[in-house]
Chains A and B, each alone.
Chain A
Amino acid sequence: MRYVEEFRDPTKARALLKAIARSAETLGASRAAPIRIMEICGGHTHSIFRYGLDKLVHEGIEFIHGPGCPVCVLPRSRVDEAVALAERPGVIFTTFGDAMRVPGTSRSLLQAKAQGADVRTVYSPLDALELARRHPDREVIFFGLGFETTTPSTALSVQQAASEGLTNFSVFVNHITVPPPLKALLEDPHMLLDGFVGPGHVSMVIGTHPYDFIARDYGKPLVVAGFEPLDLLQSVLMVLKQIRDGRAEIENQYARVVPEHGNPVSLAAIEAVYEPRPSFEWRGLGEIDASGLRMREAFRAFDAEARFQVGYGAPQGRAQVPDPEGCACGQVMTGRMKPTACPQFGRGCTPDTPLGALMVSSEGACAAYWTYGGARVAAE
């Protein structure tokens, strides 16, 4: 139990772990027949491993890691398109640091930069906007990544650019939405999940109602959770209680930050700037209907794909790029397979020589297993 010592409030952690164990036993959960709870968000995956929660909870609880790491879901083709944009003459390509090392077919953005492309890591799309103001003679492109938590930031930046009349700023939009992939997972007959721990910071923007369908149509409980260890344990307990009582509801454990209806300004900005794409390609999963966003007609001038005719904006269509040989990124990303079961884990694929983004990002399941689970996994 060495991990428990690291909690700020070990007494509370112990009490929660005990209550979880009691519920698991009441429900007859065991290692052979566990209750399977998916944590959707990569931040949660990171937290679970950092604190060893997967080992601390009753053995009848299995955490299934969900598709909630926005860098991890990018297929190689998308990275290739980013590299192609970055290598255009006159372009300053700006990105969050997370995306720099994600491998494309022949190179990552970091490698493109080493070969002379002007790629800059920024903290915020506002930094990119400022670069565009300072370089009226250059095209400044921002790599728009992330779920609903970061979508408002690019939407508001584009609105700002429009109001200033900036004509050299655009976004390579890779924003995705959480509900569609969950629906795809729930539709999969091989994917047996008993409940969900939902991403708190996404719900800070969208509220709790976009998840209603999970309880209503699929009869599964979902608890929106903060990312601190006690938040996660409490949320797991809330899921178990719902199962025990035969309820399926959307509950909010993180009400101190998450308003039921989300953030109205952010939602309005998303709605004004973006619309669902007909479909969007996910690593290992292929195209999922209406799972990604693109700019509305009124903002097309700020859409890098339309502006430079790449990706979904290319008149000849997008290039199909297969996943690397033997990689199981798609399987792992959707919780169908544990990272250690991927034939490349620790062999062809390590943090120094990543094959997939799941090994690059701190929120990726493979990196989490590697960083926190390496010794443990080897011992099992």
Chain B
Amino acid sequence: MCLGIPGQIIAISDPARQMGLAEISGVRREVSLAPVADRPLDRLVGEWVLIHVGFAMAVIDAAEAAATLEALRELGEAQEALDQMAEGDRALAASPAPAEGAA
């Protein structure tokens, strides 16, 4: 949980809450962009960020993202992070949102 995992921001999903959709090792997940929202949100689309427990904590370049991801894979931490995301999704799936929700 202490090591972040790189992801690429592919869309802004909820500007009011500063949320964006990130692609993390092939998995899509909504993350908070608040820590890196010191610039217009739109400009984050396409950027690589280091994601810690659902929050984009730093913008990094693509080469750094690739190197970090590879190191995380070797440490087994990339899989762990993905497992934890899946686990989080399961926890939410066990409690479906009220009808209009986009779970």
Which residues on A are within 8 Å of B, measured CB to CB?
6, 8, 41-43, 46-47, 50, 68-70, 94, 96-98, 120-127, 130-131, 133-135, 145-147, 149-150, 152-153, 156, 160, 199, 201, 204-205, 227-229, 256-257, 263-266, 269, 362-363
A231 and chain B: residue at smallest CB distance? B71
Q: What 6 additional pairs, Cβ within 8 angstroms, besides A6-B74, A228-B67?
A: A50-B75, A97-B83, A97-B87, A227-B3, A228-B71, A257-B64
Contact partner of A123 (CB less than 8 A), chosen from B53, B71, B74, B94, is: B53
Known: A127-B92, A257-B58. A122 touches B2 (CB 8 A): no
Q: What residues on B are CB-neighbors of A46 within 8 Å? A: 75, 77
Could you pull out 9 A-B pairs where Cβ atoms are within 8 angstroms? A41-B2, A120-B94, A122-B88, A124-B54, A127-B91, A156-B55, A204-B57, A227-B3, A362-B80
Q: What residues on A are CB-neighbors of B70 within 8 Å? A: 8
CB distance A134 to B84 under 8 Å? Answer: no
B1 and chain A: residue at smallest CB distance? A96
Q: Does B43 contact A (CB under 8 A)?
A: no
- The complex places the Cα of A246 from the Cα of B98 at a distance, in Å, of 64
Which residues on B are within 8 Å of A, measured CB to CB?
1-4, 17, 30-32, 34-38, 50, 52-55, 57-58, 60-61, 64, 67-68, 70-71, 74-77, 80-81, 83-85, 87-89, 91-92, 94-98, 101
- The complex places the Cα of A104 from the Cα of B80 at a distance, in Å, of 24
Known: A152-B35, A265-B38. A47 touches B75 (CB 8 A): yes
CB distance A204 to B53 under 8 Å? Answer: no
* Min distance, Cβ A21 to any Cβ of chain B, angstroms: 24
- The complex places the Cα of A21 from the Cα of B89 at a distance, in Å, of 48
* Min distance, Cβ B22 to any Cβ of chain A, angstroms: 12
- The complex places the Cα of A204 from the Cα of B49 at a distance, in Å, of 12
A135 and chain B: residue at smallest CB distance? B95
CB distance B52 to A153 under 8 Å? Answer: yes
The 7 closest A-B CB pairs, nearest first, are A124-B54, A123-B88, A120-B91, A127-B88, A228-B71, A122-B88, A123-B84
- The complex places the Cα of A98 from the Cα of B89 at a distance, in Å, of 17
* Min distance, Cβ B96 to any Cβ of chain A, angstroms: 8
* Min distance, Cβ B3 to any Cβ of chain A, angstroms: 5
CB distance B54 to A134 under 8 Å? Answer: no
Contact partner of B88 (CB less than 8 A), chosen from A69, A121, A265, is: A121
* Min distance, Cβ A357 to any Cβ of chain B, angstroms: 13
